[in-house]
Amino acid sequence: MDLKGNHITLGELWDNPRSRAVFQRRIPMLSKHPLQGAARTVTLEQLADFLASWLPAGVIQGVLQDLKRL
């Protein structure tokens, strides 16, 4: 999948069933977050920066690798 240099938006990722499944599998709490709808314009890069304080780097890298393989 073309992540547009990690500038793809979460809305674009969540609209794709395959990339949505990556988030549901790797970071299930994100797909159930009440602000999910408001975060549609957040880029993947912004999300990774935000999650870096909450999740181990390996989890974030795993998500990025899975998305690139799609």
Q: What is the pLDDT of residues 15-25, one digit of tens each?
A: 999 999 999 99
Q: Is the predicted pLDDT of residue 41 greater than 80, yes or no?
A: yes
Q: Is the predicted pLDDT of residue 32 greater than 80, yes or no?
A: no
The whole-model pTM stands at 0.86
The string of DSSP codes covering the chain is ---GGGT-BHHHHHHSHHHHHHHHHH-HHHHT-TTTGGGGG-BHHHHHHHHTTTS-HHHHHHHHHHHHH-
The structural domains of the chain, with segments of one domain joined by +, span 4-69
Q: Is the predicted pLDDT of residue 9 greater than 90, yes or no?
A: yes
